[in-house]
Structure 1
Amino acid sequence: MSDVKWIKISTNMFEDEKIRLIEQMPEADTILIIWVKLLSQAGRTNASGYIYLSENIPYTDEMLATIFNRPIGTVRLALETFQQFGMIEIDEHSFISISNWEKHQNIEGMERVKALNAERNRKYRERKKQKLIQNEHDDVSVTSRDGTEEEREEEKEKEKNKDYSSKIKDLLPVFSPINNFNQLNKKYWDVIRETRKTGKVSESVIYNAMYKWQKYDPVVIEYALKAHIELHAGKKEEYTIGIMRNTRKEEAKERLNLNNTIPFKPRKAANDIDWEGFDLSD
């Protein structure tokens, strides 16, 4: 994902009781600088508040000390303090995430940028449309050639989707321990496609997400999908990975038992993949 170019820091930041307590600690200024650097790093990672080198490699204390250019001892003290105060969470795999990350995102600013980009795209499409109209008058053959190229691109896209559909089918047996996985998976991607303006999710996106799920226990996967459907609709598929990463098998099993049957809300039929066509019994 592309990084967030700015984050939001409140003017009342230094009135927060946690910040006030930190200010009374040794090396308080350095610890506060590390806090701001963590927020900035979370913005660059842009994964719902997570901070990592890659999706499979968390930052170690030594790595953070190097990229923040601060002593390792101070970095460790800062992380312990932030975790104790509930400002960050560190999961069992050592992945760091900012608590309540949403309040540090400049939602208003990002919405303005989206609006400007939408207007820019609208004007571009209008100019392109006018240019095509003029080309039709000037040279009919140009339009004909463009149409042929578009058809070729559509054919290529269809072939690409066929390849990923086959890959998805090969992945499905991995999830066979999950009861009614086809139905659950279909409902999950119905929710995810509502986060797209087009209302569609490509097979390549579905395959890449499901490929990442493999490393988690089936109970954790089942819980994460159901939790996302009912509690986090509107968030993209990366958020589901965060749920899986931060949920232990025992926790997932307990929560599923407490909510033995999650009443799925009726949604539009998926227009991407015919999940009923896949058989998990093989």
Structure 2
Amino acid sequence: MSIKNVRTALKRFEKYEFLANESTNKNRLITIVNWDVYQSDDEELASKQASNGQANGKQRATNKNEKNDKNEKNKNINMQISNLRERYSEADLLIIDQYFDILRFTRRSGKIADSVIIKVYQKWEEFKTEAVIYALQVYINNPKHHDKQENYCYGIMRNATAQEIAKYKESADKQKKQIEPKEYQVDSS
């Protein structure tokens, strides 16, 4: 949508008296006419209180309901990610976190959106956990591939054979046994 389209739409709504358009010192204030017709009583009361609390000539503060909605949305996203992570063991989650830490550098911002993380976890549900962890380990252990995005790992998951996964799992189990602490008896003489 272009700026021209937005301006045209705003002029049309203003012409039909659906909204009032007022320029402020920093931006534009658009007020919806007959807002109460479109909203419930609770939201109307909160809106009136917010507008009455502002001094004349000052820009309006962010509506508290908007902040609450955003906080609720963030809680839902975090809960969804947490539910998707339940499928994996603690050791697997360390590998997954390491993968996401590397993957974030494939983004210009250096961050991965929560919605992308959710989509990645949902895509992984198509595969066995062993295949997912195998693919992530292959990715992590090959720094030359760290510039590739998540589709590269999906390809590894799709194309990994049961023998490759079993061989990896066997070598990982051997490494765990070598790392496990051994019990020693202390001579107390």
In the superposition, the TM-score normalised over structure 2's length comes to: 0.53
Change beyond 3 A, Cα 1:196–1:157: farther
What SS is found at the alignment partner of 2:27? helix
Change beyond 3 A, Cα 1:234–1:141: closer
- Gaps of at least 5 residues in structure 2 are 1-22, 29-57, 176-189
Matched, 1:255 2:168: yes
The aligned length equals 122
Aligned to 1:235: 148
How far apart are 1:196 and its partner, in Å?
Answer: 0.8
**RMSD of aligned residue pairs (Cα, Å):** 3.2
Change beyond 3 A, Cα 1:248–1:199: same
CA distance in 2, matches of 1:146, 1:216: 50
CA distance in 2, matches of 1:197, 1:159: 28
CA distance in 1, matches of 2:166, 2:72: 40
Which amino acid in 2 is paired with 1:246? N
Q: Kindly provide the CA deviation profile for residues 47-83 of structure 1, in whole angstroms up to 9, marking residues without a partner as x.
A: xxxxxxxxxxxxxxxxxxxxxxxxxxxxxxxxxxxxx
What SS is found at the alignment partner of 2:82? helix
How far apart are 1:155 and its partner, in Å?
Answer: 7.0
Q: Which has the higher contact order (CA 8 A, sep 6+)?
A: 1
Aligned to 1:219: 130
How far apart are 1:184 and its partner, in Å?
Answer: 1.0
Q: 1:171 aligns with which of 84, 95, 110?
A: 84
Aligned to 2:158: 245
Q: 1:200 aligns with which of 83, 96, 111?
A: 111
CA distance in 2, matches of 1:157, 1:250: 46
CA distance in 1, matches of 2:141, 2:61: 43
Aligned to 2:16: none
In the superposition, the TM-score normalised over structure 1's length comes to: 0.37
Q: Kindly provide the CA deviation profile for residues 187-211 of structure 1, in whole angstroms up to 9, marking residues without a partner as x.
A: 1100110111111111111111111
CA distance in 2, matches of 1:195, 1:155: 32
Q: Is this contact kept in 2: 1:193–1:199, CA < 8 A? A: yes
Change beyond 3 A, Cα 1:194–1:148: same
What SS is found at the alignment partner of 2:160? coil
Which amino acid in 1 is paired with 2:115? S
CA distance in 2, matches of 1:221, 1:215: 9
Bigger Rg over Cα: 2
CA distance in 1, matches of 2:106, 2:69: 25
How far apart are 1:222 and its partner, in Å?
Answer: 1.0
How far apart are 1:237 and its partner, in Å?
Answer: 1.0
Which amino acid in 2 is paired with 1:172? R
How far apart are 1:257 and its partner, in Å?
Answer: 3.4
